[in-house]
Amino acid sequence: MHSAAGDGFLAVDSGGSGLRVVVGTPDGGTTAPRESRVPVRTGPRGIDPGHLMEQLVPLVRGLLPESGVSGLGTAVVGAAGLATLGDALRAELPGALEREFGVRTVALVADAVTAYTGALGPRAGAVVAAGTGLIAVGTDLRTWRRADGWGHLLGDCGGGAWIGRAGLEAALRAHDGRSGGSAALLARAEESFGPVRELPGRLYPRTDRPAVLASFVPQVAACAESDPVARGILREAARHMADSAAAVCPAQGEAHVGLTGGLFRMGAPLLVPLEEELERRLPGVRVVPAAGGPLEGSVQIATDLARGSLRLPPDAAMLYVVTPKRG
């Protein structure tokens, strides 16, 4: 156990695939990331702080000797689900980090905010984070706003699961002879999943339905150049993304919108209609390539906290900061 805060910081990205961790100093140096591929459990109290610490402690102990820091004064933990599942983390993690590593300043940050910061940096604007799901986050540096991120049954409109589902629906329409179907997507669906009449029985019992739906996205993208139905699906996805970006983008000043997440690796079939839809909804918009991902966002927030220069607004659900008590 450390008794006093040191000069280093800890930055963590906790998501569905596990933990990634770096240790660094405010002058900009960081270790190479270490990771655990075990996702942090959730339970009746939400994200389990004890399980997170079980994963985190050996990673940090492995990093400290190579980091060159005298100790850890600041920690930033970016966590998927923090906004709705973070009560136990907020109650217990700051104390656990202080006991284990001497950390005095802790920020618990929603993964949407670390994605925002990694993509756009600590400035006003909006970020669309799109993978299997989709969420948009914006700030005017006074408050945070979010749109969508409601999961594949209630939202995530324009995300990977949404696109995959729309593509499979078009395939089933073609199979039935209904309007709006796509023979090209039907052929791709049967290549991917077998006879489409068997698809409900294969899909509905699975617990990873969003990922299965999203696995069809490359087929929709491959058909988009020659198939108007596939092209229309991507146009509609772009429209949903632009709607979410417009809902959270600050009303004043130049509109900066960052794009982050694996869905954008699709390239032109999605990016071309998205830039058109963003310009329609946010005239004069400046689309900014993502500078980094959620771990880089955690590092940026940790660096700014350690320097005392954090400009991003605190928020109980999105960016919860615990600082040493004076006395």
End-to-end Cα, the chain, rounded Å: 22
How far from chain centre, in Å, is Cα 158?
15
Residues in contact with 74: Cβ distance below 8 Å, sequence separation at least 6, in sequence order? 5, 8, 9, 10, 103, 104, 105, 106, 107, 302, 305, 306
CA dist., res. 40 & res. 27, Å (int): 30
Residue 327 clears pLDDT 80, i.e. is over it: no
253 vs 220, higher pLDDT? 220
Instruction: State the pLDDT at residue 6.
Output: 64
229-261 as b/e: b if 16+ CB within 10 A: bbbbbbbbbbbbbbbbbbebbbeeeebbbbbbb
Q: Does pLDDT of 181 surpass 80? A: yes
| Per-residue pLDDT, 68 | 83
Closest to 281 (Cα-Cα) out of 258, 253, 232, 248: 248
Q: What is the mean pLDDT of residues 259-288?
A: 93
Interacting residues of 269 by C-beta distance below 8 A, sequence separation 6+: 221, 224, 225, 231, 234
Q: Write down how long the chain is.
A: 327
pLDDT value of position 2:
38
For residue 252, the model assigns a pLDDT of 82
Compute the distance between CA of residue 135 and CA of residue 156 in angstroms, rounded to an integer.
7
To the nearest 10°, report the CA torsion of 208, 210, 215, 219. Answer: 150
pLDDT attached to residue 9? 94
At 55-111, the pLDDT tens digits run 999 999 999 988 888 889 999 999 988 877 888 999 999 999 999 999 999 999 998
Tell me what pLDDT residue 1 has: 34
Q: What is the pLDDT of residues 290-319, one digit of tens each?
A: 889 899 999 999 999 988 899 999 998 899
Looking at residue 3, what is its pLDDT? 34
Model confidence pLDDT, tens digit, residues 89-99 = 999 999 999 99
Average of per-residue pLDDT values in the chain: 90
